[in-house]
Chains A and B, each alone.
Chain A
Amino acid sequence: MQIIVNGEPADIREGSTVAELLEHLRIGRDRVAVEVGLEIVPKASYDSHTLSEGDRIEIVHFVGGGENRAGL
């Protein structure tokens, strides 16, 4: 099924969870935050939260900063 991850279309297996998506993208779950359709998915729900066709997902982390740069 098609989803949008960080603004880019992505194809993942039907019924994938957030945990499976992170694994697929080789992203460690510890130091990221995940939003599905503007709602934050708590880390404790990564294994149970199932994604749906067309979901818009944001995966963010910390980068160097102190001052203004482009936003999300």
Chain B
Amino acid sequence: MTTQRDTLIIAGREFNSRLMVGTGKYASFQQMVQALEVSGAEIITVAVRRVNISDRNKESLLDHIDLKKYTLLPNTAGCYTADDAVRTCRLAREAGLSDFVKLEVLGDEKTLFPDNEELLKAAKILIAEGFTVLPYCSDDVTVCRKLEDLGCAAVMPLGAPIGSGLGIRNPYNIKIILENIKVPVIVDAGVGCASDAAIAMELGCDGVLMNTAIAGAQDPIAMAEAMKLGVRAGRLSYKAGRIARKLYANASSPIEGLLG
């Protein structure tokens, strides 16, 4: 499988990397550009915000991003109602001329957990308007199924609260989602280190999306590489098929021919 193609397909588009990364919280644009490069990610998330009218000398994110290399995934971070999220997606499509959106509708500021009711409402409107919707949602198979039924191109359950770095807190919920959902399942939020990313992939997830784990690391460039390898290792390990867990030892050296 190392030589075979193992691409991720979202809404008919093919991607070689299963790691998606955010572009926020970096110390500088230079650091961000380098981290993106090293991560090998092809899909990067961006936020939609007001242009700074009073200081036009500020650099713009897209001056630093090679749009031939990356697919932009605008998000609706900071939106707490379906209306706000839909409005943000429409603006994102106009600014970026792409239908891909990472839909998130938040429930409260402390946990940043999704408001699934508003999320479903927004997803329905956006899909009717032709958007390719990738929703950030709870690790709940029922909401994932509803999102899939509405026509979402993927589901993106959280591993743990956004930016918490707690890892995959409920692998069994993720496993249940994987067994019941046909569209790609991408763990979004909660990953703290490369082994967390590997665990998500070993469960069978189609991809992992992260921002803080890389941008907030002491050495974001090194962590970007660690995450690339973690996702790759986890994917290979999943595809390779692990051995069964057993309570007792099972010798790996032959018993025959032991010295009498």
Contacts and interface: CB of A to CB of B under 8 A. Distances in A.
Interface of A: 5-8, 10, 25-27, 31-35, 38, 40, 42-43, 58-72
Residue of B53, B162, B211 most packed against chain A (CB within 10 A): B53
Interface in B25-73: 25-26, 32, 45-51, 53-54, 56, 60-62, 72
Nearest to B162: A67
Contact of A60 (B49, B54, B56, B209): B49
A69 B48 CA distance: 10
A61 B58 CA distance: 13
Contacts of B56: 25-27
4 smallest beta-carbon distances between A and B, as pairs: A66-B22, A65-B47, A66-B211, A71-B78
A71 B88 contact: yes
A66 B61 contact: no
A65 B112 contact: no
Contact of B84 (A6, A34, A59, A72): A72
Given A62-B47, A66-B211, A70-B78, A35 B112 contact: no
Interface of B: 21-26, 32, 45-51, 53-54, 56, 60-62, 72, 74-75, 77-80, 84, 87-88, 90-96, 104, 106, 109, 112, 162-163, 189, 209-212, 215
28 contacts: A25-B56, A26-B56, A27-B56, A33-B93, A40-B91, A43-B94, A60-B50, A60-B95, A61-B48, A61-B60, A61-B61, A62-B47, A62-B61, A62-B92, A63-B49, A63-B61, A64-B24, A64-B46, A65-B47, A66-B45, A66-B47, A67-B163, A67-B212, A69-B47, A69-B77, A70-B78, A71-B80, A72-B78
A65 B73 CA distance: 10
Contact of B48 (A38, A42, A60): A60
